[in-house]
Structure 1
Amino acid sequence: MEHIMFDDEQSGGVPIGGNTFANLIDQGVYPTFNTALPAYSPPSNTGSLGMMAHYNPSVFPSSFFPPALGYSNLPTAPATASQTFHPAVAPYFAADFDDDFYPGGAPGGQSDVSSFLDTWRGVSLRHPNSANVVGPKASTFRHVERPKTVNRKQLQGDRFDIQGINWEALETTRETARAIRANFAHTSDRRNRFHLHLAKPLPDTDSFFRFRRMNTEHRAWIAHFQLRNIISATSQHDIYYAKGSKVMHTDAYNMRTSCLMDLPPVAGSSFASGFRVTALTASSNTLVAGGFTGEYAITNLQSEIGTPPTVGHVTPAENGITNHAHAFAHRTSAHTTAAFCSNDAKMRILDCETGTFTDTFPYAHPINCAATSPDGRLRVVVGDCNEALITNAETGQPVEILRNHTDHAFACAWADDGRYVATGAQDSQIVVYDARWWRDPLRFIATELACPRSLAFSPVGGGKRVLLAAEADDVVNVIDAQTFASRQSLSLFGAIGGMSITPDGEDVFVACCDNKVGGILGFERTGYGQEYGLGGVWRRDWKYGDQRMVQEGPAEWGTDEEMRNDGRVVKGATARSRRGLGLGKLIV
């Protein structure tokens, strides 16, 4: 993860750096300009001039609104002189604000929905005859009262969507807002997408999950805009998310909410305000949190209420942010073990049951994410480099170097069958590998809107296998992990603090961290439970223009016999076969 120096980290100051225009804008500093700005011209590195045009309607390029959306004749006249920008009204794409500036919670960052609507309204006033303007209520959207909860029965299309937004009152449609927002994001995005010659976007044709419920009072906080793994669910009844120095506990039906951990400053931390959680993971019996200055906290989820967590430091290094943590059962001792990925370019292994660090593996670059194979022998490691490493889990030594990304990677996952591995990077690509042949990736997948920040395969016994990929903003992709040729897009509005799929594979929970429309969204599996290979079911295949019969491939990670003997499988065969029938609340 890119390390950003702060002028006063203890008080939560803004990042400092060079005094170039690009740096000022990137850091959330909006100075006064006394000269006229030139007309927009796409900068080679998508710098801040493009972002300035993004905020200033007078220099909006027509590429923001393609002809198909009715914006084919936008002028590109120069801006007026003395354009003034103030931190209090920063454009919606301003990134990486410290949550200490926002008493009500961390900001949505570059995807703040209220600011997006403000910007869109400004463009609408500038071009009132365009086909896709937004109404005057967009300017006051931040003051609209939000419902505490939203459930599937309340949905009314554009009148009331999954986040309780009334698009009709805004005189537009959700579909139009999605298209405009995507164009805003792609224009202001600093990523270079021209290299995506191998990655292809997948068609949004599947339906693996459906919306169940959202609670708008649950707000996870993003401590650093690149770190988006701050939610973890071990069941419908146990959902954990990070909120500053607290780890909160709730359930899918929001019948109860409590603070599981309120973490004080750990001795040696530079943030006197408390332990700022940057990484979170939970297993059936252990919850592990990592902090901004190298702290960690561990609690036994089966202990008595009120039992204090074990806290300490992963590293005392100044650049020791805990970028990621994951828990796994040690191959030989079977102890719950945590692997911490630190920004000081080291990975450390902690035995959670004895409280001792057993290994430290140094690398050449900061480590952003890791995933251990199901048998505990191998580990995929990604960081501030273009390569992904397949390492020996016990020695940390690389056994394979995978060179298929063109930017730093922040996400990786290893499937329960041990065969598939996925990595995601800031080059807007997800790369999928077969562990039996590392040389040639199975698939290059382009993301829809933003770079992938969190990846997870569905668990064994969780129905048809899927790969979940949460982008930084607005989209969670549910990719068919049987073919890697299609997907379902779970779309929302706002910065995503992470997603988590329950061990039974039946629910996905997404942390939306937007200041206005944020909350915890729950999605549930659809369809019947499927056996390995679909039990010999056949389907028609029209791909070649005829009616040849093609047998479906395996839908589960293993056979029914294998799942009966696999301790990771949560539900029995009968319960799996009833998945999606709506019998979860049936009392007999």
Structure 2
Amino acid sequence: MAHDLRDDLELVGGDYYYFDDDGDEFHDGFQTGSGGASGLQHEQMDDTSASDYKEGKDIQGIPWERLNYSRDQYRKMRLKEYKNYQNLTRSRSGLEQECKQVERKDTFYDFQSSTRSVKSTIVHFQLRNLLWATSKHDVYLVQNYSVMHWSPLHQRGREVLNVAGQLTPTENVKGARPLSRVQISTMALKDNLMVAGGFQGELICKFVDKPGVAFCTNLTGNNNSITNAVDIYQAPNGATRVTAANNDCVVRTFDAERYSLLTQFTFPWSVNNTSVSPDGKLMAVLGDSSDCLLADSQSGREIAALRGHLDYSFASAWHPGGHVVATGNQDATCRLWDVRNPSASLAVLPGRIGAVRGLRFSPDGRFLAAAEAADFVHVYDAAAGYAGAEQEVDLFGEVAGAAFSPDGEGLFVSVADRTYGGVLEFRRRRSYGCLDSCFF
């Protein structure tokens, strides 16, 4: 019988309920704990500063000295006990040989602070785009039925969107309809525009500096097709576009000015993630298939199939240079692809504990952050070809998202855990300043 760490470690948290596509409760992997015999669930712990960390305090404020296991012991047990979710049970033989060998020793971003004043929550265990930063002082995350703004500068949070009640769109446009009690499954922010997708097929568009929501609707007309991913991008003509990918196998694109439906492309499987290239011409389409597709963003025509992953994919990101796209998969790897030669991946990066569910490039293209489902966020040096050393952010709990600030100076990680969850802030080391040119 597997050792029950939840009772022995006496940590509280990780007891979030996720739901599968039919709305049934489901738990992904080994949770951080559900007990709390020592009463830690009721004890208010201070946040952690950089000076606290240098003096030996845990970055999440976990009081290891009072628990049954040391941090190192619990890490070993987590790595042994965590169960990575798989949709396809294909052989993984040979996958380790494909992966790049990297040393986990470099620090590109220094720990700055952590707060437990705001805590991310996760509706669907496979979807983790729930944290965004619009500046190094402005962070947005999903917390229960709210989108919260966190200011690291002022150390306070405020609600910017509440979806627990009735939502009525302020724009009187075709297709808009009221919504109520939305469970936010995914989110994207760019400049002042926030877009959120819902567990029952909803789409919400809001300007963060204005009250109310500009546009909201149910994309599928039923409650059985979760909105898996949303994206905001600039079309080749400079116009702002919004895309939404759903379990009904359709990717829809909207004009961000009048919210008119411009295109809808149907794919052979449920679409879990999309992202559009920096020039607005190519779209990466990932879903319930081991293949990832490159499609023309205006026609939906398939251009290439990216083959190599062994399970379903849920994350992608484009390098700002426009030639490289990263994909994250439940086979616990991230693959890098050069779209000029997509026949084989140019690099395979291994996870430590489970699926790679979040990917972000820093705005200057220097770094790639790959967030696993739990416990680890990896920061790779794209300028060095993702080889050599990497930084490993080691924490405990489900990772709701990782995001760079637009200036690349800040890296934020959101942890979904009832007691030790919160937002971790890291600052870029000056010795790793901007390069004159990047690898890609």
Query: Shorter-chain TM-score category?
Result: 0.7 to 0.9
Query: Match for 2:59: what amino acid?
Result: I
Q: In structure 2, the residue corresponding to 1:338 is in which secondary structure?
A: strand
- Structure 1 residue 426 corresponds to structure 2 residue 330: yes
- Structure 1 residue 225 corresponds to structure 2 residue 125: yes
Q: Structure 2, unaligned stretches of length 5 or more?
A: 169-174
Distance 1:481 1:194, change over 3 A: same
Query: Match for 1:147: what amino acid?
Result: M
Q: How many Å separate the matches in 2 of 1:255 and 1:234?
A: 16
Match of 1:404 in 2: 308
Summarize the alignment of residues 460-479 of structure 1 with structure 2, pairs less than 5 Å apart.
460=364, 465-479=366-380
Q: How many Å separate the matches in 1 of 2:320 and 2:78?
A: 36
Alignment counterpart, residue 351 of structure 1, candidates 244, 255, 258: 255
Alignment counterpart, residue 2 of structure 2, candidates 54, 62, 74: 54
Q: Structure 1, unaligned stretches of length 5 or more?
A: 1-52, 58-88, 100-105, 119-137, 534-553, 558-588
Alignment counterpart, residue 382 of structure 2, candidates 466, 481, 492: 481
Distance 1:298 1:98, change over 3 A: same
Match of 2:355 in 1: 451
Q: How many Å separate the matches in 1 of 2:203 and 2:337?
A: 32
Contact kept, 8 Å, 1:213 with 1:253, in 2: the verdict is: no
Q: In structure 1, the residue corresponding to 2:345 is in which secondary structure?
A: coil
Q: In structure 2, the residue corresponding to 1:228 is in which secondary structure?
A: coil
Please report how far the alpha carbon of residue 429 of structure 1 lies from its aligned counterpart in structure 2 after TM superposition: 1.3
Contact kept, 8 Å, 2:85 with 2:330, in 1: the verdict is: no
Q: How many Å separate the matches in 1 of 2:15 and 2:289?
A: 25
**Deviates further, 148-157 or 138-147:** 138-147
- Structure 1 residue 381 corresponds to structure 2 residue 300: no
- Structure 1 residue 179 corresponds to structure 2 residue 79: no
Q: How many Å separate the matches in 1 of 2:186 and 2:339?
A: 27
Match of 1:324 in 2: 229
- Structure 1 residue 289 corresponds to structure 2 residue 196: yes
1:200-241 residue CA offsets vs partner (Å, 9 max, x unmatched): 453212211111111102111101111111111111222111
Q: Which has the higher contact order (CA 8 A, sep 6+)?
A: 2
Contact kept, 8 Å, 2:118 with 2:157, in 1: the verdict is: no
Aligned residues: 416
Match of 1:149 in 2: 47
Summarize the alignment of residues 337-348 of structure 1 with structure 2, pairs less than 5 Å apart.
337-348=241-252
Please report how far the alpha carbon of residue 315 of structure 1 lies from its aligned counterpart in structure 2 after TM superposition: 2.1
Q: How many Å separate the matches in 1 of 2:29 and 2:43?
A: 23
Contact kept, 8 Å, 2:337 with 2:344, in 1: the verdict is: yes
Q: How many Å separate the matches in 1 of 2:112 and 2:269?
A: 41
Alignment counterpart, residue 394 of structure 2, candidates 477, 480, 491: 491
1:357-391 residue CA offsets vs partner (Å, 9 max, x unmatched): 11101001010111111111111110000100011
TM-score normalised by length of structure 1: 0.66
Larger relative helix fraction: 1
Q: How many Å separate the matches in 1 of 2:27 and 2:149?
A: 22
Match of 2:418 in 1: 515
- Structure 1 residue 113 corresponds to structure 2 residue 32: yes
Q: In structure 2, the residue corresponding to 1:441 is in which secondary structure?
A: coil
Please report how far the alpha carbon of residue 194 of structure 1 lies from its aligned counterpart in structure 2 after TM superposition: 3.3
Q: In structure 2, the residue corresponding to 1:54 is in which secondary structure?
A: coil
Please report how far the alpha carbon of residue 276 of structure 1 lies from its aligned counterpart in structure 2 after TM superposition: 0.7
Distance 1:227 1:383, change over 3 A: same
Distance 1:299 1:556, change over 3 A: farther
Q: In structure 1, the residue corresponding to 2:268 is in which secondary structure?
A: coil
Contact kept, 8 Å, 1:112 with 1:515, in 2: the verdict is: no
Contact kept, 8 Å, 1:94 with 1:109, in 2: the verdict is: no
Match of 1:162 in 2: 59
TM-score normalised by length of structure 2: 0.86
Q: How many Å separate the matches in 2 of 1:556 and 1:179?
A: 35
Please report how far the alpha carbon of residue 171 of structure 1 lies from its aligned counterpart in structure 2 after TM superposition: 5.4
Contact kept, 8 Å, 1:201 with 1:448, in 2: the verdict is: no
Distance 1:157 1:343, change over 3 A: farther
Larger relative strand fraction: 2
Q: How many Å separate the matches in 1 of 2:139 and 2:14?
A: 30
Query: Match for 1:246: what amino acid?
Result: S
Q: How many Å separate the matches in 1 of 2:70 and 2:339?
A: 44
Match of 2:346 in 1: 442
Please report how far the alpha carbon of residue 175 of structure 1 lies from its aligned counterpart in structure 2 after TM superposition: 2.4
Summarize the alignment of residues 158-307 of structure 1 with structure 2, pairs less than 5 Å apart.
160-170=57-67, 172-185=69-82, 188-191=83-86, 194-195=92-93, 196-197=95-96, 198-200=98-100, 202-263=102-163, 264-265=165-166, 274-303=181-210, 306-307=211-212
Match of 2:217 in 1: 312
Contact kept, 8 Å, 2:334 with 2:356, in 1: the verdict is: yes
Match of 1:77 in 2: none
